[in-house]
A and B are shown apart, each in its own frame.
Chain A
């Protein structure tokens, strides 16, 4: 085949696809070409470190192997068969170590350090350096999350390339030149960007370290547990480093189809919430003076009493962050055991999306991507943002339709925009229809949980084209798995009970949801399953401690429709949900295993066609597309009345709330993450700001129905007219229409 090339490396013949890098080619033949700066995920090789020197027959000088691709007939000698290459690498290492402090005994990288490893294998073993080495102030706080020990830096530029060429935040840079180059941010500003933590993993030495992990563990005393991030619906594959029963750090476990080996800072740095002070560590019942701890037996008695007392008039508020097994377990207990079929989940995901599903990595290869909705992709499913950037760098056109879109649309106008795309006369729709590599993304609420998106994709003929796909970004990590598991636990429909005898609140998102709180007002009793005291006080009659996703065995379905396995990284400080759910189930005469694997087996027969846990493997695959079935034509329930005020000058603006990436009950409990949270500010369009004489930085006041909030204004040139955009956490009790005036 002409697409293959044959070459010789260290006297071994290798055949690889044309265009394969020499480093990969050698690896395919079981031969190592050592590297520091080379990292194909960062873009083209830069040849900065010269660690990869090889001898290529016919070329007079040693070559940087990482910059070469396999050529037919090429004859390559690495250090193991070429004395010159070995000498070159030795020299390179001696040079790299000229200013390196070799403080391995106190360096966090020690034991898992490429510089240590390669120096042992290829280095000179002693130094001729007798001059004083360069020293710097240390450690420099790159941010509250990342520390920099400059003298350890070998100037491979992996971190700065990540910042400029992958995350494109361009905040981490190299200052100066030559030997005086140093990694820095602007002035003493922190590296504040959604993906900053990846530079820690990329750094091949101990120059960039995690402040959370510094001096916490040594590589020979840790265990890495492969699991999946549970903080957004992307479901990045992670490994949790544990030591003595505690999670010490979270790193990527590169699933090339899902995350490409990157993580967002929320997924990476939020784990300390497991050890939060206000964690609920024992069951609590409402006594005369508030919540009082009780034994598990007493708690289960009380639970049984409340469940029986409600006489079936029970509503369950689900979070969508439970494992599929916990949701199923709740379904078994409440639906099968008590006939309580009513549940609320502030999120639905349409199964019609399955007709056009594909790995997230498909986005990276697209030529045209249309993102519809008012929310920023990075706030809903961060890793998708990196795939979009990758696509754009590779030449794709990215069109965004929404309140901050490249095609501006009124707030809540996304569903309509999709319908327009699917119409025969849409120019953009026509291009989507014609393309073999087109993607549609829905980044916002409403839209029938992706149903509108699936309809549009169907109308545009995406099903038959494997390079075309749709992605709906739900707000909750396992929204679909939870809904499907609850549905599968029994087959009966029941009307909502009135009055509500008992409200069962499952999980922190439900417990923090104002609409669930409103429901509780109408319920005579409340059981709350939550991790944190602050979410339990004031409304629950019984509080059962919840576990975190890092403490759970089970599965979750991500936004692609991929079923992935969670492994328990550490033992939770409390019995897990399935343990007590199974005990309660027994009291109501229904069988539920306390083991997630057994529960999975049962539910898998019902909803996953008998898929086995073993089949999920370390890196789960994505099931094949399913034939399209037209979704129920739900009315545009979530889409807000599109009544943008006509007269902006004296009139009101429409409040556009968004949930920032760095928010939520877990993030709030990690002090070092607080600098990532959004400023107290409201964004206004240029037109609206000008009309009110407001400039960026001005103090303004937002008023509606008797409440008012003061914050700074920011003029956002991308924002549509008639809108005031601000983070949920700053919107307090403001209503949908607000007046904005200079304070």
Chain B
């Protein structure tokens, strides 16, 4: 798997003035190949392909919400709790998810199916509360909608 990840990253690098500029797409590719999160091994691979240090890769990945440095479930539910969503009841949405899934925000269900997280602004403030399910945005979500969303995720 690693040689192809390396090749894929080198391919992306060609579009940038210098290799390190490709860090975000490179991390994204690595995350896809490592089951949705970035273990240390992934950082080493990205670092090697971009000729930077693994530590540098961690500094970037840990800054952004869309990169995960801990294992995640097969599905990812991300509830925005930034200002607009907060005033539209995001906290109640989070609590509803916690009840339905039986986990706290930041945790993964025991069967490894769903990871629940709270995140900063998803850029849909006009449609608060925004919930991203596997990177697809659900708009104007209310606590009452949560049961349906969870059902769709299956077991």
Contacts and interface: CB of A to CB of B under 8 A. Distances in A.
Interface stretch (A167-175, A257-265, A429-437): A167-175
B62 A170 contact: no
Contacts of B40: 186-187
Contacts of A177: 62-63
B148 to A, nearest CB: 32
Contacts of B52: 170
Given A186-B43, A187-B40, A173 B63 contact: no
A175 B58 contact: yes
Interface string B51-68: 011111011001100000
Nearest to B53: A170
Contact of A169 (B53, B59, B62): B53
Most chain A beta-carbon contacts within 10 A, residue among B40, B54, B56, B59: B59
Q: How large is the interface on B (under 10, 10 to 19, 20 to 34, 35 or more residues)?
A: 10 to 19
Interface string A277-307: 0000000000000000000000000000000
A170 B55 contact: yes
Interface string A154-183: 000000100010000111111111000000
A164 B52 CA distance: 11
A184 interface: yes
B30 to A, nearest CB: 15
Given A176-B63, A177-B63, A184 B58 contact: yes
B63 A185 contact: no
A176 B55 contact: no
A164 B59 CA distance: 12
A173 B55 CA distance: 6
Contacts, number: 34
Contacts of B53: 169-171, 186
B55 A171 contact: yes
A169 B63 CA distance: 20
A671 B54 CA distance: 27
A169 B59 CA distance: 14
Nearest to B44: A186
A172 B55 contact: yes
Contact of B56 (A173, A176, A187, A189): A173
Contacts of B55: 170-173, 184-186, 189
A451 B40 CA distance: 50
Question: What DSSP secondary structure best describes chain A's contact surface?
Answer: loop
A187 B52 CA distance: 16
Contacts of A171: 53, 55
A385 B63 CA distance: 31
Contacts of B59: 160, 173-175
B91 to A, nearest CB: 18
A189 B56 CA distance: 13
B21 to A, nearest CB: 15
A472 to B, nearest CB: 31
A303 B50 CA distance: 62
Contact of B54 (A164, A172, A186): A186
Nearest to A169: B53
A177 B66 CA distance: 13
A186 B39 CA distance: 11
Contacts of A186: 40, 43, 53-55, 58
* Consensus secondary structure, chain B interface: helix
- The range of chain A's interface size is 10 to 19
Contact of B62 (A160, A172, A175): A175
Contacts of A184: 55, 58
Contacts of A173: 55-56, 58-59
A415 B55 CA distance: 39
A184 B55 CA distance: 8
Interface in A490-545: none
A213 B140 CA distance: 57
A170 B52 CA distance: 8
B58 to A, nearest CB: 6
Interface in A380-434: none
A613 B62 CA distance: 55
Contacts of B63: 176-177
Q: Which of B52, B53, B54 has the most CB of A within 10 A?
A: B53
A504 B55 CA distance: 50
Contacts of B56: 164, 170, 173
Contacts of B62: 175-177
Contacts of B54: 186-187
B122 to A, nearest CB: 16
A171 B58 CA distance: 10
Nearest to A163: B55
Contacts of A185: 55
Interface string A457-496: 0000000000000000000000000000000000000000
Contacts of A172: 55
A177 B59 CA distance: 9
B105 to A, nearest CB: 14
Interface string B20-54: 00000000000000000000100100000000111
A164 B56 CA distance: 9
A177 B67 CA distance: 13
A164 B60 CA distance: 13
A172 B59 CA distance: 9
B124 to A, nearest CB: 20
A676 B53 CA distance: 17
B51 to A, nearest CB: 10
A171 B55 CA distance: 6
B125 to A, nearest CB: 19
Contacts of A174: 59
Q: Which of B40, B55, B58, B59 has the most CB of A within 10 A?
A: B55
Contacts of A189: 55
A159 to B, nearest CB: 12
A508 B155 CA distance: 71
A186 B59 CA distance: 9
A175 B54 CA distance: 12
A523 to B, nearest CB: 51
Give the interface centre of A169, A171, A173 by most chain B CB atoms within 10 Å.
A173
25 contacts: A160-B59, A169-B53, A170-B52, A170-B53, A170-B55, A170-B56, A171-B53, A172-B55, A173-B55, A173-B58, A174-B59, A175-B58, A175-B59, A177-B62, A177-B63, A184-B55, A185-B55, A186-B40, A186-B53, A186-B54, A186-B55, A186-B58, A187-B40, A187-B54, A189-B55
Q: Which 8 A-B pairs have CB atoms at the shortest separation, nearest pair first? A: A173-B59, A186-B55, A170-B53, A186-B54, A175-B62, A173-B55, A170-B56, A176-B62
Given A164-B56, A171-B55, 16 more contacts: A170-B52, A170-B56, A171-B53, A172-B55, A173-B55, A173-B58, A173-B59, A174-B59, A175-B58, A184-B58, A186-B40, A186-B53, A186-B54, A186-B55, A187-B40, A187-B54
